[in-house]
A and B are shown apart, each in its own frame.
Chain A
Amino acid sequence: MGLFDLFRSRPKNTASVAAERLRIIVMQERAANGRPDYLPMLRRELLEVIRKYVNVDPDAIDIHVTHEGEGEVLELSVALPEKHTAAPATPATGET
Chain B
Amino acid sequence: MTEIIVVTSGKGGVGKTTTSASLAVGLARRGKKVAVIDFDVGLRNLDLIMGCERRVVYDFVNVIQGECTLKQALIKDKRIETLHVLAASQTRDKEALSKEGVERVLNELTEDGFDYVICDSPAGIEKGASLAMYFADRAIVVVNPEVSSVRDSDRILGLLASKTRRAEQGAGGVEQHLLLTRYNPDRVANGDMMGIADVKDILGIEVLGVIPESPGVLTASNAGVPVILDDTSDAGQAYADAVARLSGEERPMRFIDATKKGFLARIFGS
B251 at the interface (CB under 8 A from A): no
What chain B residues lie within 8 Å of A18 (beta carbons)?
146-147, 194, 198
Chain B interface category by residue count: 20 to 34
Query: Of the candidates B147, B158, B191, B270, which one forms a contact with A22 in the assembled complex, judged by CB atoms under 8 Å apart?
Result: B147
- CB–CB B198/A19 < 8 A: yes
A5 to chain B, nearest CB (A): 6
User: Residue on A with the closest CB to B147?
Assistant: A18
A84 at the interface (CB under 8 A from B): no
Query: Of the candidates B188, B195, B202, which one forms a contact with A26 in the assembled complex, judged by CB atoms under 8 Å apart?
Result: B202
- CB–CB A30/B195 < 8 A: no
What chain A residues lie within 8 Å of B195 (beta carbons)?
15
What chain A residues lie within 8 Å of B203 (beta carbons)?
26
B165 at the interface (CB under 8 A from A): no
B245 at the interface (CB under 8 A from A): no
Interface 9-mer from B39-47, B149-157, B214-222: B149-157
Q: Given A15-B191, A26-B202, do A2 and B267 touch, yes or no (CB 8 Å)?
A: yes
Query: Of the candidates A1, A3, A33, which one forms a contact with B158 in the assembled complex, judged by CB atoms under 8 Å apart?
Result: A33
Question: How many interface contacts (CB-CB < 8 Å) are there between A and B?
Answer: 55
User: Residue on A with the closest CB to B268?
Assistant: A2
Query: How far, in angstroms, from A30 to B158 measured CA to CA in the complex?
Result: 8
Query: Of the candidates B155, B191, B265, which one forms a contact with A16 in the assembled complex, judged by CB atoms under 8 Å apart?
Result: B191
Q: Given A3-B268, A23-B202, do A14 and B147 touch, yes or no (CB 8 Å)?
A: no
User: Residue on B with the closest CB to A25?
Assistant: B151
Majority SS at the chain B contact face? helix
B248 to chain A, nearest CB (A): 30
Q: B150-194 vs A: 1/0 string, CB under 8 Å?
A: 110011001000100000000000000000000000001011111
What chain A residues lie within 8 Å of B154 (beta carbons)?
26, 29-30
A4 at the interface (CB under 8 A from B): yes
B269 at the interface (CB under 8 A from A): yes
B79 at the interface (CB under 8 A from A): no
B266 at the interface (CB under 8 A from A): yes
- CB–CB A3/B150 < 8 A: no
Query: How far, in angstroms, from A26 to B202 measured CA to CA in the complex?
Result: 8
- CB–CB B267/A15 < 8 A: no
- CB–CB B268/A15 < 8 A: no
- CB–CB B194/A26 < 8 A: no
What chain B residues lie within 8 Å of A15 (beta carbons)?
188, 191-195, 198
B189 to chain A, nearest CB (A): 10
Query: How far, in angstroms, from A29 to B154 measured CA to CA in the complex?
Result: 9
A67 at the interface (CB under 8 A from B): no
Query: How far, in angstroms, from A33 to B154 measured CA to CA in the complex?
Result: 11
B157 to chain A, nearest CB (A): 9
- CB–CB A34/B268 < 8 A: no
Query: How far, in angstroms, from A26 to B265 measured CA to CA in the complex?
Result: 39
Q: A5-41 vs B: 1/0 string, CB under 8 Å?
A: 1000000011110110111011001100110000000
What chain A residues lie within 8 Å of B193 (beta carbons)?
15
| B→A interface (CB under 8 Å) | 146-147, 150-151, 154-155, 158, 162, 188, 190-195, 198, 201-203, 265-270
6 residue pairs of the A-B complex, CB under 8 angstroms, read A1-B269, A2-B270, A14-B191, A19-B201, A21-B147, A23-B201
